[in-house]
A and B are shown apart, each in its own frame.
Chain A
Amino acid sequence: MSVPLTLLGLLEREPSHGYDLKRDYDAYFGRGKPLRYSQVYATLGRLTRDGKATPGPVEQGAGPERRRYIITDAGVADVEEWLSEPVQPEPDLQSELFAKVVLALILDRPAGRYLDIQRAAHLQRMRELTELKSHGDPLDVLLADHALYRLEADLRWIDHTAARLEPLAKAVRR
């Protein structure tokens, strides 16, 4: 999963201190693997260097956190592009899929459209694997079946999520 793009997505919501970003990242996407502060600030440094975010003015008397980071137009474009691309449909890489859906909901972007794009990508991969099965050796077939069942599980999750976007959007925008 792309930590920089996820943090950038959170910044699109509103200018934020590094502390806020870490707290929200851990709450939405951490799942027992919280970000280190050093990772947050190193990422913000790189995003600033690359012109995707910019530090705001130093704030007086606001504790140790002195500035908020603001997303740039280039950063918004990156988030937009990232959300509109399907994740490579391979088993075990799906946390990015989860992150994209949650971010799309938080940002009031078209999560349903994103899920449609991902569904099409998954089905295309399943077609390729099914084709491979028709002339593969038994071990290829076994492996393809494993991948097919994993992708099918994702697809069921995609369909289930697509059917519940409205209540989910309300829940994540609390």
Chain B
Amino acid sequence: MTILQAKDVVKSFGQTPALRGASMTVRQGEILAVMGPSGSGKSTLLHCLAGILVPDEGEIWFDGQRLDTTTDEHRSELRRDRFGFVFQTGQLVPELTAEENAALPLLLGGARRAPAIAEARAWFGRLGLDGLEQRRSGELSGGQAQRLALARGLVTGPQVLFADEPTGSLDSVSGEIVMNLLTAAVREQGTTVVLVTHDARVAAYADREIIVRDGTVSTLTGVQP
């Protein structure tokens, strides 16, 4: 079943076109890798799918709803309640403790503090972060910070996790730990993942890949040697 779809999406920044008619679908529960050279438009595509950017032309559909024509307020709600995000660098709030950072989407959604923190803490053991609950982000290693960002991305139980180069700032071993934890967690939860990466070893964790090139999508999967 399709959960997300882009239809002929066009998006430009000033005079510079980033997407020139990109079409693709994401199936419920799959991990989809979005690959392509730098500047190909893969991050722009992710931002359009996630309702962060609104396309100039074309349509974005999520779970039977048109995302690009809905209100900004509704898009914000969807981003907060139904989507999770992990970016290349954790984008953690330095003033907050690790558990407060992980609980942030729940707190911003209006949850009471105690249950939100309890929900966040449940992720610490699963992501190998036990004992780090009170640390500030500056006291975490790069790998720990990305695992914390992953906890924050998954804490609301999102339908779709958007991950943009989630291991891009990590060494290969730390990156592998993050990807193993990410895939185990989303498989268990049935979360759909849109994973933007230029790294083939990261893409190899996905169920399939699409290639974005010059703002359009080419698919060539299932070809066997």
Residues of A within 8 A of B (CB): 85-89, 116-117, 119-127, 129-130, 134, 148-149, 151-152, 155-156, 159, 163
Inter-chain contact total with CB atoms closer than 8 Å: 55
CB contact between A148 and one of B180, B201, B207 (< 8 Å): that residue: B201
Which B residues touch A156, using CB under 8 A? 200
CA A129 to CA B224, docked complex, whole Å: 15
CA A87 to CA B223, docked complex, whole Å: 11
CA A134 to CA B204, docked complex, whole Å: 12
The answer on a CB contact under 8 Å between A155 and B200 is yes
Q: Shortest 4 CB-CB distances between A and B: which pairs?
A: A126-B204, A130-B204, A120-B220, A86-B225
The answer on a CB contact under 8 Å between B200 and A127 is no
Asked, given contacts A123-B209, A159-B37, A163-B37, whether A117 binds B204 with beta carbons under 8 Å apart, the answer is: no
CB contact between A86 and one of B200, B201, B223 (< 8 Å): that residue: B223
The answer on a CB contact under 8 Å between B204 and A120 is no
Shortest Cβ distance from B203 into A: residue:
A123
The answer on a CB contact under 8 Å between A124 and B223 is yes
Give the distance to chain B from A141, nearest Cβ to Cβ, in Å: 10
Asked, given contacts A116-B218, A134-B180, A155-B200, whether A121 binds B224 with beta carbons under 8 Å apart, the answer is: yes
Q: Is B206 an interface residue (CB 8 A)?
A: yes
Shortest Cβ distance from B183 into A: residue:
A134
The answer on a CB contact under 8 Å between B225 and A119 is no
Give the distance to chain A from B4, nearest Cβ to Cβ, in Å: 21
CA A121 to CA B204, docked complex, whole Å: 12
Q: Is B211 an interface residue (CB 8 A)?
A: yes
Which B residues touch A121, using CB under 8 A? 223-225
The answer on a CB contact under 8 Å between B200 and A117 is no
Which A residues touch B204, using CB under 8 A? 123, 126-127, 129-130, 148
Give the distance to chain A from B88, nearest Cβ to Cβ, in Å: 19
Which B residues touch A152, using CB under 8 A? 200-201
Give the distance to chain A from B212, nearest Cβ to Cβ, in Å: 12
CA A117 to CA B221, docked complex, whole Å: 8
Give the distance to chain A from B105, nearest Cβ to Cβ, in Å: 29
The contact sample of 18 A-B pairs, CB cut-off 8 A, is: A86-B224, A88-B225, A116-B211, A116-B220, A117-B223, A119-B220, A121-B225, A123-B204, A123-B209, A124-B223, A126-B200, A126-B204, A127-B206, A148-B201, A148-B204, A152-B200, A155-B200, A163-B37
